[in-house]
Structure 1
């Protein structure tokens, strides 16, 4: 990998997947310090620049809709939905996988479900990096930049300013996980997909992504998951993950979040 590509990769992963501190098996190398290698090579990742149209132009109806979506969420500040958006902004492992614990109705941890946890880490890298081509090409400014306002995560704003808004990497990771987890626990498909949807919408609530960024992130994520199914290592991990969830249910292991509070927050819409 060329030096400038390695630098770009490290910068992107620092935004998308910061703080992966957990130990990983020696058989799974890292793409940068603390960042676990995905299943797909750079050559086999879906190309987001080819998959997506350009982001909406400022004189378009689509951009007017983006502005309206952003404005409609400003009244959510200091509500439980705002707090959930802050929580959803966290991409540090192992905390991040808890976002889907209630939806799956099981703990998604390195101790309770180690193969599933590893699958989520590796697929997150694939989903995150698949956004790179479009992000680098369009370099779209984020809503909090456009309006010179504060997002729900002010400490993240310096790094977010250096990383294009279109498509949404957080959304891509969350939607890829939702599609995968719906296969792991098909009886929980509706709550899992709904959580994947609200996970992406949290980026609009937070003020760090436009609605069209979020929708584009879901498109690329679907392409990533489709491509992952052609990878035999992913398929083996998926099979193992299904067994782990079945075992966790036999043991009646509980989710690692307050599911009542999470459901109440997700029910708040704007």
Structure 2
């Protein structure tokens, strides 16, 4: 592979991860009336863990006790993020939910920024968030409980990025597979407690496998490549595509509708993240483990 193509590979992987995630999440939301958000999360994370174990065979590589602890933190952040996000999607449209969740990686990106202009960009993101909060009333006002879960997902996403970097020296397949296993240990029991034997319905099991492939196994494998090779601030900004892609997927695949204010709020969050990458010099330095 030529050097230019090799340099573009992690960026292409991240874009593919975003598209797969948004499409898979739209598909997974159709399972909510059947097994609930908790059961859908159990499908998504549990099947992803099994698929990744088979595909990546992480036992081929040695693992120190210290690295095992890092992978446990990575997996718990991943599981908490998934569960919180799906709980938010019970009452929130996909686009606004992702926009709020995206404040997690945006905060990580801004933490690496050092210029005064970033204060203004952070203010732009906060202004977009304000437009999404249920302070304006109206028929399309967002549910406060859903917003609370979306904030939980944002916190989990930030922790996932930070913990993922601390596993960057490990083989990507090993890290994502074992991390997903740790996530499954957190969310699968919760899903079983909520949905019970309904999770064993053959048709729903098949839908769960598809949801796991599209919204977890494929995106997180691709994101691990990006985490290891894209500078921290660049990663956060490129992820800014996700709220827009998610909103479009919600409209096209789920029939969701957004007000002009909500579209504007999403655009403000995206603009803030793009501003970070435009105003922050690229860096080749690795984040300290």
Tell me the TM-score normalized by structure 2.
0.27
Q: Give 1 or 2: higher helix fraction.
A: 2
Scaled by the length of structure 1, what TM-score is found? Answer: 0.28
Report 1 or 2 for greater relative contact order, CA contacts < 8 Å, sequence distance ≥ 6: 2
